[in-house]
Amino acid sequence: MKNRQVLKVFNKTIKEIMPSIYLWLFIGAIASALNTLLTIMIPKLLIDAVMKKVTISYLLKMLLVIGVSKYVLLETNKWIVIKQNNQKGILNQRTMKRFAKKITAIDYSYLEDPDILDLKERATFAVQSYGALEVIVNSMIKFLTAVFTLVGISGIIIQFNYLFLLIIFVLSALSLVFSYRIVIETQKSTQLVIPINRKYNYYVGQCLNGSQQNDFRIYNMSDMMVDKIADLNMESMRWFDKLYIKIANILSIQSLLNHLTQFVTFTYGAIRVLSTQFGTKITIGEFTLLVGASQQFSTAFMFAVESYFKFIESLNYLEPFAQFMALPESEEKHGEIVPESFETLEFHNISFSYPKSEKKILNNISFSIHKGEKISIVGLNNAGKSTIVKLICRFYRPDEGEILYNGRNIEEYDYDEYMKILAVVFQDYKLFPFTIRENIVAGRTNVSDEEIWQVLEETNIKAAICELPKGLDTYLDKHIHEDGTDFSGGQRQKLAIARSVVKQGELVILDEPTAALDPLAESEIYEDFHRLVRGRTAIFISHRMSSSVFCDKILLLQDGEIKAFDSHTNLMKQNNLYSELFTTQAKNYQLQII
């Protein structure tokens, strides 16, 4: 993506989030430039007044006017800077809000694509860690201030001699060429150090990871990790040492050019004061004006070019953000029909492969589920069990075939309304650092505490919550909330199941809902399963075949195809993968009990 396209995305973001920031950029730049020009003019005005031997009263009036003008400009600048800082903070917050909203709006398939996930991380780094938006705004402020200042100063210098202005411009440009060399060398070194820093951050992250500490201590890995980090640190420092030497050499040449500029300025000014060789004689006050204007010209010119380069550099950093924001949003919400009560769900000749993969996860499968049925989907790892859930949830679209809800393609239904009929506990479910109540009701306002406690009792987690001082108002995750709690894996799983039950979805999907539970706790969940789903239609996925005993039918998946779809009793009478897995697991459980 070219800088022009990135700038287009940036401009669109600004206009949609905070268009007034542009107005304050111009106002701030003009006020700052006026302050600089006034600072240059003050010595001339005072010296000329003294040389003309003006009266004390006139001089005092002049000082008063200058002082008031300077005060007004300084206070105006201060107020504008405060305004701009507030706007930059709000801009960053609103941008991250838009970014988070974008993540939820793109196709789910993008969120399982490693390239897109990498793009998301780089976009997050650009906005949050590097602060690209704020840097761009700051660069624009400095650039505009420098340009307005240059215009004013050029008008002053050209009154003395336009050739002198050209000489100052050339010397300033040469100095900036070397400044650009510093930028280039820094960028080269940064790119070379990035792989080292990535490894460095990884090893440091491993040392700080609490879940790794057991292995560090048991296998005495601490010294090895520290040595590895030290080696990477030294390797990084060697690159920076080379960079600093190059920068020092460049700065020496820059310093020589700056001194040459000062020499030319003072020499030309002195000649104009003492003779008419380059024009009419100038006063001492005009001499100070010339010197001050020349120095400020070099400074303003440097700021203009450096801020421009910084602007371009920040656009490069912002490119991942622009690319991510340009991703097409999901079309899943385009349906308009509101789903009626659940009657049937049918997979009709469904085939599916994940993006960037030629392997067919599901190959021309067809089955139907009717109201009130409890279906268990079983199979070996990577058989396609969880993929069926993702297709039902419209996270992906089938490559072939269609999924029918009450005889109508699920894509025809309004996405948000369709989501209301689903209550899902995913294999990689997530609980959030909110209160227990907030996690269970998930934003719904029509759930009473009585309903919550009833479901918590049915999932055998009520007693643990009652022991907490704040009960349902206890926060999860002690890393964020000091008075929070960290439940065990099994307890968190029960909370996730309780959340799905409270939702009252007509189709309950439990994808490995007991993965974190021990066999006894798992057995309790199975025994209460029918009561938990309250007669609703349910799809149950598990590696543990014992879950199937409580279901009406078992859908047996193998190599992306349906090998059987029948009751537990009938499947056990046959020689198939299901009966083999069930028998093997039953024997293992018996051995564990013995």
d(CA 311, CA 332): 38
Token reading at 240: 């920076």
Mean predicted confidence (pLDDT) in 265-271: 90
State the pLDDT confidence band at 525, using cuts at 50, 70 and 90. Answer: low
Q: Check whether 591 has a pLDDT greater than 50.
A: no
Residues 385-423 pLDDT 10s: 889 999 999 988 999 999 999 999 999 999 889 999 999
- What is the separation, in whole angstroms, between the first and last Cα of the chain? 65
- pLDDT of 478 strictly over 50: yes
pLDDT in tens, 196-246: 877 888 888 888 777 677 777 777 777 788 888 888 888 888 888 888 888
Given a cut of 50, whether residue 468 has pLDDT beyond it is: yes
- For the chain, percent of residues with pLDDT exceeding 70: 93
pLDDT of 155 reads 92
Mean pLDDT of the chain, nearest integer: 85
Q: In terms of pLDDT, which residue wins out, 283 or 545? A: 283
- Amino acid (1-letter code) at residue 492: R
**pTM score:** 0.66
Residue 386 burial (C-beta neighbours within 10 Å; 0-12, 13-18, 19+):
middle
pLDDT number for residue 257: 85
Q: Over the stretch 124-157, which tens digit does the pLDDT of each residue have?
A: 888 888 888 888 889 999 999 999 999 999 999 9
Higher pLDDT, 420 or 331: 420
Percentage helix, strand, coil for the chain under 3-state DSSP, each rounded to 5: 65, 10, 25
Q: Which pair of tokens denotes residue 198? A: 């990535």
Quote the Cα angle for 537-527-393, to 5°. Answer: 30
In what helix (H) or strand (E) does residue 509 lie, and over which residues does it extend? strand 507-511
12's CB contacts (< 8 A; 6+ apart) are none
Supply the pLDDT for residue 331.
Answer: 63
Measure CA 555 to chain center.
40
- Confidence at residue 594, expressed as pLDDT on a 0 to 100 scale: 42
Is the pLDDT higher at 192 or at 276?
276
For residue range 22-70, what is the model confidence (pLDDT) as tens digits?
Answer: 888 899 999 999 999 999 999 998 998 888 888 889 889 989 999 999 9
The proportion of the chain whose per-residue pLDDT surpasses 90, expressed as a percent, equals: 24
Mean of the pLDDT values across residues 469-492? 84
Q: What is the mean pLDDT of residues 520-545?
A: 72
Collect all residues with Cβ–Cβ distance below 8 Å to 397 and sequence separation of at least 6.
391, 411
Q: Which of 424, 429, 422 is nearest to 491 (CA)?
A: 429
- How far apart CA 313 and CA 306 sit, in angstroms, is 10
Q: What is the largest CA-CA distance in the chain?
A: 119
Check if the beta carbon of residue 542 is closer than 8 Å to that of residue 383: no
Burial code of 94-107, b = ≥16 C-beta within 10 A, e = fewer?
A: ebeeebeebeeebb
- Coil vs helix vs strand at 447: coil
Pairing mode, strands 362-370 and 344-352: antiparallel
Q: Is 371 helix (H, G, I), strand (E, B) or coil?
A: coil
Q: Give the range among 4-13, 49-58, 179-188 with minimum mean pLDDT.
A: 179-188
pLDDT in tens, 69-113: 999 999 999 999 898 888 888 888 888 888 888 888 888 888 888
